[in-house]
Structure 1
Amino acid sequence: MSKRVLVIDDEANLRWVLSEALSDQGYEVAVAANANDGLAAMSHQPADVVILDLKLKGMDGLATLARLRERWPDVVVLMLTAYGTVASAVEAMQRGAADYLRKPFDLEEIGFKLQRALERAALQQEIRYLRQSQQQATIAGLIGSHPVWLACREQLERMIDRLPLLVLVGEAGVGKAQLGRYAHATSQRHNAPLIELDGALLTEPMLVAALNEAGQGSVLIRHGLGWLDWLLDQTLQPRIIVTSLKLPEQPVPTLQVPNLNQRRSDIGLFAKAWLEAQSLSAAALQQLEQSHWSANLPELRHVLERAALAANGQTIQPEHLPHDLALASAEPIALPATGLQLDLVERSLLQQALQQANGNKTRAAELLGLSRHQLLYRLEKHGLS
C-alpha cells in the first residue's frame, strides 16, 4: 500500500513540482495552499507524511507543526525552508519535525529524506510496540493477591509519580527489581526509556551516560545504595529507583517490599504461573504454604521445578517435594529452660542423619537441609568424617 503525502505550501509551482515528482516515486499525493486547508485535508484523510513550508502566510509553519503534532502525533513532518531560515528549521526539528529541506531543493534529496524519515518512524513505532508489550508483560507478571502485597503495590502507585527518587528495600529474591519495572510501566513516564544498572558494577561515567540516555524516563539501579549520596547531589531529570537489602541512612523515600513468608497464600498463584499445564495437589500446596522460605521467590521456583521433574507430568504430590521442606514446616524446637549445648545437638543430628541414610552423605545432607559441602564441613568439625 502506497504512503500518502500531503504538501502544504503557498507556492503553486512548488506544489505542482512536488506532486508530480512524488507521484512518479509511487506516493499518493495531496496538496494544500495554506495551513487551514492542510489541517482540513488531514482531518478528511490523514497522511503518513506532511511536507510543510516554514514561511506560510497566515498560520506559519511552526504553529501548523504544533497543531499537527497535537492531533496526529505519529505523522512524519518534513519542513521546507529558504536559505535564511535554517535556524528556524532546526527549531522545528526540536519541536517534532523529522527533517528539513532547503530551497531550492533536489528531487532526489527529497526522495531520500522522505524514505529515511518513514523508515525512522516505522522503527520508532516498533520500539513503542515492543516497549508497550514489555510493560504489559511486566504488569501481568507481577503476581500476588495477599493483602500485604496489594498494599505494597498501592503505596508504590501513589508514590511513584510524586517522587524523583525512591528506594525499594527488601530481602534477596522478593522481586524488588520487577517491582521497579512495574513502577515505571504504570507511571506517567511509561513511554520514555527505562535504563537498568547494576550498582555493584557501576562507574560514575556509566551512571552519567545512563541518566542522559533515560531523559524523562527512569533509571533502575539494583543494589544501588552506595550511589545515593552522589545522586542526591545531582539535579535529576529521570526518575531514580534504587533497590537495596537494607534501609538507607539518608533521609530518602523508601518502600518495604514484603518477603514470601509474609504472603504465603500467593504461593498457589506462583505455582499456577510457573508450572503451566502441570497441577499441584492441595496437600502439596499446603506443605509449600507451611514452609519457611529463606531465599524467597528463586527458592520457590527451584523447588517447583524439581517437583515437576519428580512428578514426571503427573499431579505434584507431597512426596515429590524436597525432603527438607518437611523440616522447614515442622513446629519449632523448644529451648529447654535449663539450656542446651548446641554443638552436642548438632553432632547428635549429624549422627542420626547418617544412620537414617545408611551412611549415604548426599541423602544425609538432604535430611538436614544442607548441601553436601556443608555436611562434609560439619562432619569434619565434629570428627565424624
Structure 2
Amino acid sequence: MNLDSIWKKRQHMHLKKFSRYSKYIFNDHFVLVLLFLMGALAYQYSEFVKTITPDFLLGKLLIVILFSGSIFIGKLATFLEPADQVFLLAKEKEWGSYFRKAKKYSLILPSVLLFFLAAAAMPMLFAGRTIGAIDFLPIYATLILLKSIHLDLQEWGLKIGERKVQRKNNLYLFGAAIFSFSIAIFFNPWVAPVLVTLYTMFLRKKVQVAFEARYPLYQWERMIASEEQRKARINRIINLFTDVPQVQSKAKRRKYLDALLRLAGGDSNPYRYLFARAFIRGTDYSGLFFRLAGIGAVLLLFTPSAEFSLGLSLLFLYLTGFQLLPLYFHFNENVMYRLYPARQAEKFAGFKRLLGSLLGAEGLLFAAIIFANNGWQSGLAALALNAGFIWFFSRFYMVRRTQKRDTALH
C-alpha cells in the first residue's frame, strides 16, 4: 500500500465520520438559531455601515488586523496515526506528496471561511470609499496566498521541532500580512498579491538554505502529537452536540468553588448535589457555560439596539440550556448511581433546580448589561422575558427532551 492510497483511505474515513455526526451538529434547533443570529447580525451590520464615513480610519485598521489574524485559522490535517512512526518510517522520503495532499485538503475549509470574512468586510470598505467591488478578487487572493504560506510553515514546523523558530516564523508571517493588507486597503489592492508572491519566493529560498540541511527529517513524535491535538479539538466541538466516544473528560478538584455546592442544597436532594458536583468539576459543562455566558455578554455590550439585545439574550439562554441538557444523563452508565434508592422524580427536580439556577444567573447578567446599555425599561423587559423563558424551558422543553430517553433507559 503506497502513501497515496493511505491518504485517500484516511480522508474517506474522516469525511465519513463527519457526515455521521453532521446530522447531530446541524439539527433543526441549531440551524434555526444560527439563521436567526446571522440575520440579526447582518441587520445590525447593515445599519452600522450606513453610519460609516470615508474618514473612518479605525474601521480600516481593524479590518487589516482581522484579515492578518484570520490566516492563522485552521491547522494542517495530516490524518497520521501513532503506528505510522513505526511502520511507515522507512518511506520518509516519499512523504512530500502526502503532505502536499494534506495542505490542499487543509486549505478547503479556511478558503470558505476567508471568503465569507472578506465578503463581510467589503461593505465597510465600500462605505469608506476605500475600494471598489472588483477589488474583492485581489484581497481574497491575498488571504488565500497567506493561508497557503501558513500551511507551509506548519509542514516545515514538523521538521524543525523548535517552538522558538516556529513562533518567529509565524511572527514574520503576521508582519507580512499586516504590511500586505495595509497596502491593499490604503494604497492599491492589486499590489498586495504581488507582494505576497514575492514574499513566498523569498521564504521558500530561505527555508531551503537555512532549514533543509539542518532539519532533513520529520519529528515523528511531534507530528503524531500535533495531529492528536487537532482531532481532540474537533471531537470536543462535536461532543457539544452529541456523545463522542473518543472524548475523555478530565475532572478538576476546584476546591475554591465548594461554597457553591452548599447553595445547591444537597442535603434535601442528593441528585442536585451530584449534578452540581459534576458541573463544577467537569471541564465540559462548566467551561461551556462560562464560554457561552461570556460570548453573550460581550455581544450584548456592543449591541445598541434594545430589541436585538432582548432577542440575543433569549438566544444565548436557549443555547446554554440546550447544551447543558446532556448533564442530566451524565451518570446513567454508573451502576451505583442506577442502584441508588431514590425516586426518578427527585432526579428531575434536582437537575431542574440546578439548571434553573445557572440560567437564572446568566439571565441576570444579560439583563444587567441591557439595563446599562438601554435604560431601566429595557432592563426590566429583559428580566421578565428571561424569567419567562427559563420557566418555559425547564417546565416544558426540558421535560420533552429528557422524558423519552429516560423511558428507554428504565
Higher Cα Rg, which structure: 1
- TM value normalised by structure 2: 0.25
Return the structure number with greater helix share: 2
- TM value normalised by structure 1: 0.26
